[in-house]
Amino acid sequence: MLFNSFQFIVFFIVVTSLYFALPYRYRWFLLLSASCLFYMAFVPVYILILGFTIVIDYFAGIYIEKSRDGRKKLFLIFSLIANIGVLAVFKYYNFLNENLSLLMHGVGYENPIPYLEILLPIGLSFHTFQAMSYTIEVYRGNQKAERHFGIYSLYVMFYPQLVAGPIERPQSILPQFYRNHDFDYERVKKGLLRMAWGFFKKLVVADRLAYVVNDIYSDLPADSGGGIYLLATVFFSFQIYCDFSGYSDIALGAAKVMGYDLMENFNRPYISKSIQEFWQRWHISLSSWFKDYLYIPLGGNRVVKWRWYYNLLLTFSLSGLWHGAKWTYIVWGFLHGIYLIIPLILKIKIRSAWNIPIVFILATFGWLFFRAESMTDAVYIIQQIGRSPFEFNFDQHTTFFLTNCIMGIGAIILLLVSEAFFLRHGTFENRAASFSLFPRWTIYVSILLLIFWFGVFSNNEFIYFQF
Partner 1 sequence: MRKFLLKSILLTSIVLVICLGMRLFIGPFWGHSTASQKWEVYHIKHSDANTLFIGSSRIYKHIMPKVFDSLAKIDGYSTNSFNLGVNSFPAPQSLRMLDLLIEETGSVKYYFVELTPIYDEINDKIINTPEWNYWYDGHHLTLLARHVWSRPDLGYQNKIKRIKEHLQSYLGNFFLIGSAQFYLEENLKDEKWLVEQFDQQKGFVSFESAMKNQAEKSDDLTGRFEKFQNDTTVLDIRKKEALKLKKWKKNNDLNSPYVEELKNLMKKVEDKGGKLFLIIPPRMENYSGYRFFADIYKMDNLIDLSDPESYPEFYQAKNSFDVGHLNLKGARIFTNRLYQLIQDKNGFVK
Binding site for partner 1 (CB under 8 A): 6, 20, 183, 185, 188-189, 398-400, 402-404, 406-407, 441, 444-445, 448-449, 452-459
Phi and psi, residue 155, nearest 5°: -55, -40
Q: Is 323 marked active-site?
A: yes
Residues 6+ apart with CB under 8 A from 303: 311
Counting Cα atoms < 13 Å in the Cβ hemisphere of 397 gives 24
CA 103 to chain centre: 32
Minimum distance of partner 1 from residue 404's CB (angstroms): 8
Phi and psi, residue 13, nearest 5°: -65, -45
C-alpha angle 254-132-270 in degrees, rounded to nearest 5: 55
Minimum distance of partner 1 from residue 304's CB (angstroms): 56
Minimum distance of partner 1 from residue 234's CB (angstroms): 20
Nearer to partner 1, 359 or 443 (CB): 443
* Helix, strand, coil tally for the chain in percent (to 5): 75, 0, 25
Amino acid in the structure at residue 44? P
Spatial CA neighbour of 415 closest among 219, 218, 245: 245
Minimum distance of partner 1 from residue 22's CB (angstroms): 14
Minimum distance of partner 1 from residue 21's CB (angstroms): 10
Nearer to partner 1, 98 or 223 (CB): 223
Query: Which of 283, 323, 336, 397 is the catalytic position?
Result: 323
Minimum distance of partner 1 from residue 406's CB (angstroms): 7
Residues 280, 431 contacting (CB under 8 angstroms): no
Spatial CA neighbour of 415 closest among 279, 296, 318, 271: 271
Nearer to partner 1, 87 or 205 (CB): 205
Angle, to 10 degrees, between the axis of helix 327-346 and the axis of helix 375-387? 60
Question: How far is residue 26 from each of residues 118, 170, 214, measured CA to CA in Å?
Answer: 36, 21, 45
Nearer to partner 1, 95 or 454 (CB): 454
Nearer to partner 1, 29 or 183 (CB): 183
List alpha helices for 372-398, DSSP H.
Answer: 375-387
Nearer to partner 1, 271 or 405 (CB): 405
**Active centre residues (catalytic):** 323
